[in-house]
Amino acid sequence: MLNKKLKLNKNILKRGVEKKSIRDGFGEGLVMAGEKDEQVIALTADLRNSTRVRAFSEKFPDRFFELGVAEQAMITVAAGMANYGKIPFTTSYAVFSPGRTFEQIKVTVCLNNVAVKIVGAHAGFGAGLYGATHQSFEDIALMRTVPNMVVVSPADAIEAKKATIAIAKNEKPTYLRLARQESPIMTTDKTPFVIGRAEKMWEDKDPQVAIIATGPILHEALKAAKTLQKTKIESLVINCHTIKPIDELTLIRAAKTTGCLVTVEEHQVNGGLGSAVSEVLSKNFPAPIEFVGMQDSFSESGDSKDLLEKYNITAADIVRAAKRAIRRKNAQG
């Protein structure tokens, strides 16, 4: 059942659940962060509208910088600004930044250890219709390998707003992953958000499997939990919005409670959330894990809903993966 302590959206699993794009939450959060701290500034590489940095640019024109289609310069200029003491939010699509800007991020942001915020929009299937060049399924893997980097992947627009305000204050290089599509609102303004703390969204009394999800696909995980419950399979669903530093304690406890897990992400299973969870558990409490996500392939043009079906990342796929994980656990005896 849904975790009441989190004060989640009452309509979360109803047909008419409210939807909003995660990038809109970022846009609102950035304005709020800018109001709270005048050191907060924003840069874009000719994507003012679609990254939702426009509201900030209109409210704080002197603190907004247009770089043109020059992502490499955007990151390196921001590194200089952060070196000075500013808190720059750099905005582009995830495919371009961190996609193109990996080395700039590694050297000028993370090795310099200056608090640049890398905002990667249109991650996952949100840019579905644009085709494979615009779909980012590698960004989490790239960003979590770099020392000093924090990686945050909010699940809905409200969480994105809170995450934006939180990362403006964390004084660290940080990657914020945003999705484009209108996605279900799962949390409320009262739901707690702490960088590095995963939240149990759904917890049955005697869960047999833990489902760990990141980003808006968390909603499919919750739908899967509801379906599993109907077939008398109890489960636990965790919102792992921070992939680095990952909440080891919550993951280890979940593995100890359930004995098997499913990870769910709009990202390559190689190097993403699934890998991050595996690394924690193989060291601390080895357990069978099933990985729902991109299975080492490129995607293609299509509506995000159709693509999720084609690439087997729906609630039904999560249910099947959960059953496989439980079978593997039971086979181990």
Partner 1 sequence: MDTKNLRKISKEVRKDIIKMIYKANSGHPLGSLSSVEMFVALYFGIMNHHPKKPRWPLRDRLFVSHGHVCPAQYSVMAEAGYFPKAKLNTYAKLGSSLQGHPERKKLAGIEITSGSLGFGLAQAAGYALASRTDDKRFRVYCMTSDGEHDEGNHWEAILFTAKQKLSNLTLFVDRNRIQIGGPTKEVLSLGSLAEKYEAFGWNAIKIDGHDFEEIFDAVDEAKAHYQGPSVIIAETVAGKGVSFIEGKASWHAKHPNKEERDKALEEIKNG
| Interaction between residue 104 and partner 1 (CB under 8 A) | yes
Strand 235-239 relative to strand 289-294, pairing: unpaired
Residue 151: strand pairing partners? 175, 244
| Shortest spacing between CB 10 and partner 1, in angstroms | 45
Question: CB atoms < 10 A from the CB of 74, how many?
Answer: 28
| Interaction between residue 90 and partner 1 (CB under 8 A) | no
Q: Could you tell me if 220 and 314 are in contact, meaning their C-beta atoms sit under 8 angstroms apart?
A: yes
| Interaction between residue 81 and partner 1 (CB under 8 A) | yes
Question: Contacting partner 1 (CB under 8 A), which of 2, 30, 33, 78?
Answer: 78
Q: What is the CA radius of gyration of the chain?
A: 19
Question: Contacting partner 1 (CB under 8 A), which of 48, 63, 144, 223?
Answer: 63
- CB under 8 A: which stretch of 22-30, 65-73, 251-259, 282-290 binds partner 1? 65-73
| Interaction between residue 84 and partner 1 (CB under 8 A) | yes
| Interaction between residue 70 and partner 1 (CB under 8 A) | yes
Using DSSP's 3-state secondary structure scheme, residue 68 falls into coil
Residues 277-306: x/- map of binding to partner 1 (CB under 8 A)?
------------------------------
What DSSP line would sit under 20-32, residue for residue?
A: EEHHHHHHHHHHH
How far apart are the C-alpha atoms of 124 and 230, rounded to whole Å?
29
How far apart are the C-alpha atoms of 24 and 144, rounded to whole Å?
24
| Interaction between residue 108 and partner 1 (CB under 8 A) | yes
Q: Which of residues 20-39 bind partner 1 (CB under 8 A)?
A: none
* The two three-digit tokens of residue 161, written as one number: 């707003």
User: Could you list the residues that contact partner 1 (CB under 8 A)?
Assistant: 41, 62-63, 65, 67-68, 70, 72-73, 76-86, 88, 103-104, 107-108, 111-113
